[in-house]
């Protein structure tokens, strides 16, 4: 059976304040070329080579709309695929709107979404592609998949994921239920997490069917879903307005980077 085309959703709305002065409010780090002749946003798209995917949906601040359009155009990836935020309001509403857009525009009844950050750097991009491919069967079974990174050290500036019960489909395709998300623990707590071997860094990357995400959103944060459905999802450029973050149940796929 041919591999299904997934839709990347790239979160590019950050201000890049931790890399100032190289990264500035009007030109944050995700639009800079830090390693080669591609920006971090373009590298995120290029990293998907080898995975069957559609043009990405890119979510960014409205101040950066022309930068994003130009960088997508350079890669022949510019379609009706930019969602603009007048102000950032966390992940859940942005992904909700992207899921609604994807369902509206896709030929598939329930398209597969890969949620990515625009400012990640991978030392082993092939491992990234392999891990995404291994996660697809879990998403096909209705799971909401998050990708955990095996920590190389205790770091209090990252979020952590506590793994739960082991899940296995076949061969070496293994994942875990998520027991708990922990946001930026103390350094002492982070050291204990790393020593236990049961915790992963939270990558902020996810894989799921658009419809399954919206089902969970309706269950846990219907206010977000109602708000996003009020937006005209047939517009060429969409404006994202506020709402908060949500809690949902995910499964975990580990990555060694």
pLDDT(87) > 80? no
Which domains does the chain carry? 7-255 (3.90.550.10)
pLDDT(34) > 80? no
Nearest CA to 135 out of 212, 202, 206, 50 is that of 206
pLDDT in tens, 138-157: 999 999 999 999 999 999 99
Please give the DSSP secondary-structure letter assigned to residue 229.
H
DSSP assignment of 154-167 equals --TTS-EEEEEEEE
CB 201 within 8 A of CB 151: yes
- Phi, psi angles (nearest 5°) of residue 35: -115, -35
Residue 256 is predicted with a pLDDT of 43
Q: Which pLDDT band, with edges at 50, 70 and 90, does 248 fall under?
A: very low
The region of weakest confidence among 11-25, 129-143, 144-158 is 11-25
State how far the Cα of 235 lies from the Cα of 109, in Å rounded to an integer: 20
Q: Which pLDDT band, with edges at 50, 70 and 90, does 18 fall under?
A: low
pLDDT in tens, 218-231: 999 999 888 888 77
Select the more confidently predicted residue: 64 or 1: 64
Residue 234 is predicted with a pLDDT of 45
Residue 21 is predicted with a pLDDT of 55
- Phi, psi angles (nearest 5°) of residue 38: -105, 145
Mean pLDDT on 57-82? 85
Select the more confidently predicted residue: 229 or 13: 229
pLDDT in tens, 181-212: 999 999 999 999 999 999 999 999 999 999 99
């Amino acid at each position: 059976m041919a591999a299904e085309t997934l839709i990347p959703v790239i979160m590019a709305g950050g201000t890049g304040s931790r890399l100032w002065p190289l990264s500035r409010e009007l030109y944050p780090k995700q639009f800079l070329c830090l390693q080669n002749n591609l920006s971090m946003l373009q590298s995120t798209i290029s990293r998907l080579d080898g995975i069957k995917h559609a043009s990405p949906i890119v979510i960014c601040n409205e101040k950066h709309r022309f930068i994003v359009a130009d960088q997508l155009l350079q890669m022949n990836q510019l379609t009706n695929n930019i969602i603009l935020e007048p102000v950032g309001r966390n992940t859940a509403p942005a992904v909700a709107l992207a899921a609604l857009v994807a369902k509206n525009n896709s030929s598939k009844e329930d398209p597969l979404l890969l949620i990515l950050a625009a400012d990640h750097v991978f030392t082993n991009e092939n491992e990234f592609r392999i891990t995404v491919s291994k996660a697809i069967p879990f998403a096909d079974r209705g799971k909401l998949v998050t990708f955990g990174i095996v920590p190389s050290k205790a770091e209090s500036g990252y979020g952590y994921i506590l793994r739960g019960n082991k899940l296995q489909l076949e061969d070496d395709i293994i994942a875990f239920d998520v027991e708990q998300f922990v946001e930026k623990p103390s350094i002492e707590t982070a050291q204990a997490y790393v020593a236990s071997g049961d915790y992963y860094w939270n990558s902020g990357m996810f894989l799921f069917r658009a419809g399954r995400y919206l089902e969970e959103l309706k269950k846990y944060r219907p206010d977000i879903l109602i708000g996003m459905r009020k937006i005209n999802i047939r517009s060429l450029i969409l404006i994202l307005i506020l709402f908060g973050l949500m809690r949902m149940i995910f499964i975990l796929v580990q990555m060694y980077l």
